[in-house]
Amino acid sequence: MATAGGNGAEKSTNKPFHMRRWLSVQQAVDHLSALSEDPLTSDDLARLAEDHTLDLYWYRPGQQLSYIDRPGKPKTELTEPLRLCPQYSSDWRAIVGVLRQRPALPAEENDTPTMQDSKGNRLQITFDFSRRPEPFSSRWYPNYAELVVRRRDLDRLESHLFSADDEAALEPQLLLDVIWELEQMAMETGEKTGQEQQQHDLKGKPDTPHNLDWLTHQLSDRTKLDPSLLGKILHAAERQHATHL
C-alpha cells in the first residue's frame, strides 16, 4: 500500500521542542501562553484559523485515504499530517468548531473534509467495509487531538500575535539604551574577570550561572526601566536567536 508522506510526525514528538516539525493544538496553545502575559486558549487559534492565517493539519496514523481526482489510483495510508483545505467553507467552519471543543459531525451521509498533500493531490479518508463508521459518526471528521500545526507556522504566528505588544518595547531609542547598558556591563565584567577568577580558583567555587531574569533585573536597576518591558526585549532577542539555530 502506498503511503502519504513519511513518519516525521511520530519522530517529531520525541525531539526537543525547538526541533519539532509538528505540534498538537494543545502544545501550540501551551507554548504561546508561555510567551504571552495573558493565557491563550484554543479559541485564539480558532480565530486565526477563521481568518485563514493558520493552516491546520489532520494526523490520524494508519487512516486509509482515497484520491478524489484520481479514483483509479490505489488507496494510500496517512503517515504524516495532511493539510486540511480551508476553501470548503462548511468543512472549515466545522473544523474551527473542533478547536472550540465542539466535536464535528457530518452534515450529510459520509461527509468528510478534503485534505491536500505536498504534490497538490486532494484526498479524503475512507474505510474498509468492515470498519466503516456509521454514516453520521464523528469519525468522519478530525477530533481535537488529531489536529496539528507546523512548528514553523507557530514561529510566524509569534510575531503576528505579539507584534502589537512588543511595538513599544522595541522602539529604536529604547533598544539603543539597552544595548549601551549591556556594553557597559560587559566592560565592567571584563575588568573584574581576572581578579574574580583568581579568587574562584583559590576557593574552588564555580561561577554562578545567570539567566534572563537575572539580566532583566540587573538592567532594570541600572536603567530604572520597567522590568516587564526589558523582559519583552530580551525574550524577543532570545526567540529571534532560536529561529536561526
Q: What is the pLDDT of residues 25-58, one digit of tens each?
A: 999 998 888 877 678 899 989 999 998 889 999 9
Q: Which stretches of the chain are DSSP H helices?
A: 8-12, 25-35, 42-50, 89-99, 151-169, 172-203, 212-223, 227-242
Phi and psi for 124 in degrees, rounded to 5? Answer: -135, 155
Q: What is the pLDDT of residue 244?
A: 52
Q: Which pLDDT does position 140 carry in this prediction?
A: 93
Distance CA 90, CA 28 (A): 25
pTM value surpassing 0.75: no
10-residue averages of pLDDT along the chain (245 residues): 53 55 92 78 91 94 94 91 93 94 83 93 92 89 95 79 54 75 79 59 53 79 77 71 54
pLDDT of res. 5: 56
Query: Does residue 85 sit in helix, strand or coil?
Result: coil
Identify the pLDDT of residue 159: 66
1's CB contacts (< 8 A; 6+ apart) are: 74, 75, 76, 77
pLDDT value at position 150? 93
Would you tell me how many other CB atoms lie within 10 Å of the CB of residue 94? 20
pLDDT at 1: 47
What residue type is 1 in one-letter code?
A: M
